[in-house]
C-alpha cells in the first residue's frame, strides 16, 4: 500500500511555461516533505522541502505547496527549462528520526 | 556528492549466488540507507542504519541483509539472488543538520 502517491507517471510541458507536479499521501503522521530530481544514470538530488507547519516554500524557480487537509502537495516550476527534464520524486517522513518514504515518480519532459 | 561511493557500479550475477554491495561515506554521518529503484515503484527502502551495528528493516527487506561494522561502510547482501532483485540500488546518507538525503550514483544489478 503506497503511502506516497504520484498519479501522473509523466508530464510534458513547453519551455517557458509552468510545470505542476502533484503528490498525495495517506499517512496523516507525515510532517516533513521533500522533492528529489533524478537524471538518468545518476543518483537522486535534493530539490526542495517543506515542513507541515508551512503551506508554501519557495526556492528560485521552484515552489512547493502543501495542503494538509487534503493530504496533497504540489511542486511548481516556473519558468520550465529543458534542463528540468528529469524524474521527480515526492518523499515524506513522520519524525526527525524516521525513514523517508518515496513516491513512484513523475517523468517531466520540457519541450524546447 | 557528500562523499558517498557505491561499489560496484554494475554487476551481473546468476540466480542463487550471494551478492554484496558496498556503500562508503567519508563524512561520518550517522544515518545510512539502501533503496532500490524500479519502474512504477520509485525508490523503495530496503534497510537503514542509525549507527554502528544499529540497523532496521524498510519496506522491502525480504531477501536482503545489511551490516554496519564501521561508521563509514554500509553493506547490503543478497543472500541468494533472484531475478526479482534485478534493479538499481542506491545508497543514501542523511545530513542531520538539514535532514536532507544525499544519494550515491547507484549500482545496476542484473540477476540472470
Q: Give the DSSP per-residue string, B40-107.
A: TTEEEEEEEEEETTEEEE-TT-TTEEEEEEETTEEEEEESS--GGG-EEEEEEEEETTTTEEEE---E
Q: Which of B7, B9, B42, B101 to mutate to test the interface with A (most CBs of A within 10 A)?
A: B42
Coil, strand or helix at A100: coil
CA distance A54 to A65: 9
pLDDT (0 to 100) of residue B107: 97
Per-residue pLDDT of chain B (112 residues; tens, 9 = 90+): 568 999 999 999 999 999 999 999 998 899 999 999 998 888 999 999 999 999 999 989 999 999 999 999 999 999 999 999 999 999 999 987 777 889 999 999 999 9
Instruction: Indicate yes or no: CB of B99 within 8 angstroms of CB of A9.
Output: no
pLDDT (0 to 100) of residue A73: 97
Question: Which of A46, A102, A103 has its CB closest to that of B100?
Answer: A46
pLDDT (0 to 100) of residue B40: 83
The mean predicted confidence, pLDDT, of chain A is 94
- State the cell numbers at A101: 518514504
For B106, the closest chain A residue by CA position comes to A43
CA distance B33 to B49: 6
Q: What percent of chain A has pLDDT over 90?
A: 88
**CB of B90 closer than 8 Å to CB of B23:** no
Closest-CA distance, A84 to chain B, in angstroms, reads 18
CA distance A12 to A25: 23
CA distance A85 to A73: 20
pLDDT digits 0-9 by tens, A47-89: 999 999 999 999 999 999 999 999 999 999 999 999 999 999 9
pLDDT (0 to 100) of residue B41: 86
pLDDT (0 to 100) of residue B2: 65
* Interval A92-110 mean pLDDT: 89
CA distance A80 to A63: 12
CA distance B28 to B77: 22
Strands (E), A26-95: 32-38, 45-51, 56-59, 62-67, 72-77, 86-93
Q: How many residues are recorded in chain B?
A: 112
pLDDT (0 to 100) of residue B98: 73
pLDDT (0 to 100) of residue B99: 76
Instruction: Indicate yes or no: CB of A101 within 8 angstroms of CB of B35.
Output: no
**CB of B72 closer than 8 Å to CB of B24:** yes
In angstroms, how far is CA B16 from the centroid of its own chain?
A: 19
- State the cell numbers at A46: 535534493
Amino acid at each position: 500500500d503506497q503511502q506516497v502517491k504520484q498519479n501522473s507517471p509523466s508530464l510534458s510541458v513547453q519551455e517557458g511555461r509552468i510545470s505542476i507536479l502533484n503528490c498525495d499521501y495517506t499517512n496523516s503522521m507525515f510532517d516533513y516533505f521533500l522533492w528529489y530530481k533524478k537524471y538518468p544514470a545518476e543518483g537522486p538530488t535534493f530539490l526542495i522541502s517543506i515542513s507541515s507547519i508551512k503551506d508554501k516554500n519557495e526556492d528560485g524557480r521552484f515552489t512547493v505547496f502543501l495542503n494538509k487537509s487534503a493530504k496533497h502537495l504540489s511542486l511548481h516550476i516556473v519558468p520550465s527549462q529543458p534542463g528540468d527534464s528529469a524524474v521527480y520524486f515526492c518523499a515524506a517522513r513522520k519524525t526527525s528520526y524516521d525513514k523517508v518514504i518515496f513516491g513512484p515518480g513523475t517523468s517531466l519532459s520540457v519541450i524546447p | 556528492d557528500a562523499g558517498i561511493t557505491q561499489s560496484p557500479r554494475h554487476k551481473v550475477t546468476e540466480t542463487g549466488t550471494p551478492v554484496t554491495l558496498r556503500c562508503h561515506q567519508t563524512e561520518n554521518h550517522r544515518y545510512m540507507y539502501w533503496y532500490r529503484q524500479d519502474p512504477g515503484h520509485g525508490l523503495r527502502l530496503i534497510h537503514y542504519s542509525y549507527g554502528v551495528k544499529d540497523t532496521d528493516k524498510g519496506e522491502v527487506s525480504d531477501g536482503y541483509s545489511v551490516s554496519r561494522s564501521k561508521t563509514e561502510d554500509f553493506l547490503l547482501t543478497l543472500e541468494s539472488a533472484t531475478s526479482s532483485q534485478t534493479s538499481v540500488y542506491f545508497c543514501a546518507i542523511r545530513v542531520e543538520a538539514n535532514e536532507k538525503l544525499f544519494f550515491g550514483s547507484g549500482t545496476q544489478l542484473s540477476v540472470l
